[in-house]
A = this chain, B = another copy of it.
Amino acid sequence: MYRLLSLCCVLFVYASSAIAADKPNIVIMLPDNLGYGDIGAYGGGELRGAPTPNIDRLAAEGIKLTNFNVEPECMPSRSALLTGRLPIRSGTSRVPLPGHPQGMTRWEYTLAELLGDQGYVSGHFGKWHLGNEQGRLPNDQGFDEWWGFPQSSGETINETQPGFEVGLLPTQPIYEGYRGQPSTVVGEYTYEIRPQMDEMITDKSVAFINKYAKSDKPFFLYVPFSQPHAPAIPNEAFKSKGGNNYQNVLMEIDHNTGRILDALEQAGVAENTIVIWASDNGPETHQGVNIPYGAQGDSGPFRAEFPSAWEGALRTPGIIRWPGRIKAGRISNEIVSILDFYPTLATLSGGGKFVPTDRPIDGVDLTDFLLGKTENSPREHALFFFGDDMLAMKWRNFKVHFIVHAPALGAVRQAGQGVTTSYRQELVLPWVFDIEADPKELWNINASSTWVGGASFKYLNGYMKSLKDHPNIKSGERRE
């Protein structure tokens, strides 16, 4: 039924493509496991040995969100971005183990489908991670064309790990595909290809911009980079940039971001293009064997790392530029979620047409907030899941934890020892933190702030009610 709805819409809009003339193009760049503290505009950059001038400039030209929230892992974040719905509704609440069935429900009506129905041409270049079989690839979920790999950036690249031998597990194909046709294998995502991957993603993205900038259709370009996910191995041109692999890769991401921004400029479409730049989840900070020593991503002023519901996992850079429409240099600490791009872009591109009404949409429309009509985001809460667990809830300046994953960085790693541990604790009583007074989430104020639960739980109740007609899909239980 959903599929049918989508097709109808396509027919409808294609017939009236003229109205699309002034719709903004949309570009979303999404690096993989990049931390809040990795980027100059967010306190990293040169400070952590990796200047990021292009991304910093993008932030200065748009709105810089300092309370931008994602899901705790790659797959759920990508699902949330493309559906506007909590991943627990779509069979994408966890990254499955390698080899296990994976994929978003086929009946999700993705942002690519929605924009397609509004007259957009869409392209996906890079990491998909929402299904690894024919019928579950980007061109099956609304993208007109794609090139990239279906699983995780590091899932099949294990050459840096002791004991690994080629042939022990399946390799990962590189696909090319077009809507309405099966995807074609055009290569293999190998260890040798790993340092070239983001350059190739950028090449394809630039070509897409050049191809469609002059068309009469607006375009939606989704660029899920493969870096700096482990193994972070820089491109040849970035091997000697003066940092370790991770630092050099950050500089490479900045360079690739700059290439895409330049392509928009040179194609003359920068003015009418909404550019979104964010990460899919907080950093990996654990010592990787692929770099001379540890210290990869940085979570900035926040606690811990992915995957957890600490701010270090959930808050990433979040930048949105739309020249002349979104005020340059604006900085906001309002709560925004990766879920919100779906309804917001639906409005900015077509007045909200085609947003499904037959299923819960968890994103909220940020249009008035982004365009400066309101100071406040319409979102005052966010729920955070991991698999079937609801880990935590954010409400205004408070955070309520129900289940805790992995303690703070400092606690799991005795200084200089490099010991990494991880655990899951169900709390007897929730922990409550004031994440403005206490950005590092160190002081549980539950006892003095029991009212927070009462005031915030209306959102929890709203979610629980939505499950009645639309039950979640259990983690690991893939559906059609």
Q: Which residues of A contact B (CB under 8 A)?
A: 37, 40, 42-44, 46-50, 66-67, 243-244, 246-247, 285, 287, 292-295, 298-301, 303, 331, 333, 397, 404, 407-411, 413-418, 431, 433-434, 436-446, 448-449
Contacts and interface: CB of A to CB of B under 8 A. Distances in A.
Given A46-B331, A431-B415, A300 B301 contact: yes
A293 B448 contact: yes
A37 B42 CA distance: 12
A285 B410 CA distance: 15
Nearest to A295: B438
Contact of A243 (B416, B436, B442): B436
30 contacts: A37-B301, A42-B43, A43-B43, A43-B300, A44-B439, A47-B301, A48-B301, A48-B436, A48-B439, A49-B434, A49-B437, A247-B436, A292-B448, A293-B445, A295-B434, A295-B440, A298-B440, A299-B301, A300-B300, A300-B301, A303-B410, A404-B415, A408-B409, A408-B411, A409-B442, A410-B410, A411-B411, A413-B442, A416-B443, A418-B442
A413 B48 CA distance: 26
Contact of A298 (B243, B292, B439): B439
Nearest to A247: B437
A307 B358 CA distance: 58
A40 B329 CA distance: 14
Given A407-B410, A410-B410, A431-B415, A293 B443 contact: yes
A442 B410 contact: yes
Given A49-B397, A436-B47, A436-B247, A443 B42 contact: no
B431 A444 contact: no
Nearest to A397: B49
B301 A301 contact: yes
